[in-house]
A = this chain, B = another copy of it.
């Protein structure tokens, strides 16, 4: 009886709370559809010297006909405003209202409000705003409601429709249709301008992104804009990667904004005829994410590396995490996977991760690997589990699990007679941009990613309550892992070989499978040490020249405690780009190259992207392996703090979580920690027992101490590092 009363009270409280506070409405749609739609918009903005340059994989579409509904129990009748993108009908309790009502009255009591929307061009979307009735992710949607009627007019009561929760981007302005979604912009002036023949070259001071605005345009003739991430590129009118040609016929002065955004530092403005221009500025376009993570240390060069990495990453964080701002602006899964990890140590922006994962996966049927690349399918799986690990958002994993299953079914269907993956028509085996990298036969790296993805499937099957899936994927992962070591481990070389051809190991040893094996924790301790010596720290093994794979190489070394070595490598490699004048980090950097060689790629003199997301990995490495913060259970319910100065005198910074930022200061003598979330486990190496106020210090092994960090407290400890 007591319990029942409590329950009633609780119910009453819940109801009145809902009535007291005006609810927040947002535009909603079939989940994933706006993500797919916007990624089509985004990925079709690429041009190459004025020609349209779209992707080469299948672009999916939103469902063109979507039903939305929710049941409400109203204490009082209320007026509900309806905003819809598409042709629609409205039903209350299954009864249609004539026409396209903009406002309806819902009577008291229990009622079901449904809207059915058709839109071929844009995503069917609704915005419903009443006092208590609002559109949000609690609405249910379907693309096939199966509401047939029998000859008497009775609606089928056993249609077996699958309803799923609506998707949303938290767009809360009913007058702004989702299809009009745009990132914000702000005006920025050039830092300097230099006249040249036929025009001028503007320098915006650093790599930037947005729309060029031409002020006071007048006359008849052509305006040409040649964009350059480097000055050389902007000056090279016949070889620069992006440009605008605009034919002008204006009697009076007019300001004109270029229709397509571009990446540049320099702009070479040229005119023909009697065209004149007063000045040129830009509208900087950016994602309004918050820079939450931070890092500062006793090393100024490292601080600069961190700052430029964060700027590089912010430029590439847009509607989605893209590869690079100049050329593709596409949603590449391998690139995005690194962006997710960087994001957890900088913006901690969960929506952009979800959008990118949804956009990449698209819809069934699966007809190719993600971006057509075998490795990129696997990074997609890994990205989902990481998302759960950092955010604890179980619902998203459950929602996307069916799309994980169908992609894995596609992959499982492509195994060869040995149960391994090798090239099949339609596959691109990428791995990395590297000279003479063999993709023939059964490449060990791909099998490793496959095994890790199967482990991910098993973990997500648990979250999605797919008991059959757990058993199936666990078994498959275990078998593949043991097969990898049976087939690729070479005892003489003490390493995994690169590939098997015609059922035989090749002689080739590369870094890829070996470094992933380390942070996947697939090796025995002995194997790990052998791999470090024989592969990672072995100059005879082909070097990596992309920041993309340096990310994993340095991560593997950090995971083995080689922070001092990695710090030097970071300063050499990223510091090397800074010394060459980089204001953002590059798609590829080979210190052996000279001068304008650094600008070339893909056989084109300015083909290389000088602002590439995968160039920004120091954000991740410094947060995870120097500040040393990482979750040990999903959503930072428990986490580890294991600061490692790696030779620095001191460092300080913040690592964001869903509940706020964890602050860390560490010098050789002092550590300060405060955390708003979960339970942390600080691990310190100290010659003497550290002294901490208000906390117990436990020596877990010789010279290694552990301190439990509770949320909401400030910890300040002395130690001898």
Q: Identify the A interface with B (CB < 8 A).
A: 37, 40-41, 44, 48-65, 87-90, 96-100, 116, 118, 120-122, 143-149, 151-154, 156, 158-161, 245, 364-365, 367-368, 372, 423-428, 433-435, 601-604, 607
Contact = CB atoms under 8 A, between A and B. Distances in A.
Contacts of A40: 64-65, 118, 120
Contacts of A59: 63-65, 118, 143
A160 B65 contact: no
A360 B156 CA distance: 22
A144 B607 contact: no
A147 B368 CA distance: 13
Given A144-B372, A365-B364, A118 B428 contact: no
B51 A89 contact: yes
B54 A118 contact: yes
B97 A51 contact: yes
Contacts of A90: 51
Nearest to A601: B151
B54 A96 contact: no
Contact of A602 (B50, B151, B161): B151
Contacts of A98: 49-51, 245
Tallying the copies of this chain within the complex gives 2
A99 B50 contact: yes
Given A64-B40, A428-B156, A602-B153, A89 B58 contact: no
If over half of A's interface residues share one DSSP class (helix, strand or loop), that class is named, otherwise mixed; here it is loop
Contacts of A154: 603
A143 B51 contact: no
Contact of A118 (B44, B56, B145, B426): B44
Contacts of A96: 48-49, 51, 53
Contact of A56 (B97, B147, B368, B428): B147
A50 to B, nearest CB: 4
Nearest to A91: B51
Nearest to A588: B151
A61 B64 contact: yes
- Top 6 nearest A-B pairs (CB, nearest first) are A160-B425, A153-B603, A121-B121, A50-B98, A51-B96, A61-B61
A604 B56 contact: no
Contacts of A63: 58-59, 61
Given A59-B63, A61-B61, 13 more contacts: A48-B96, A51-B99, A54-B118, A56-B147, A60-B64, A98-B245, A144-B372, A146-B426, A148-B428, A149-B602, A153-B602, A153-B607, A159-B428
A146 B56 contact: yes
Contacts of A49: 96, 98
Contacts of A603: 152-154
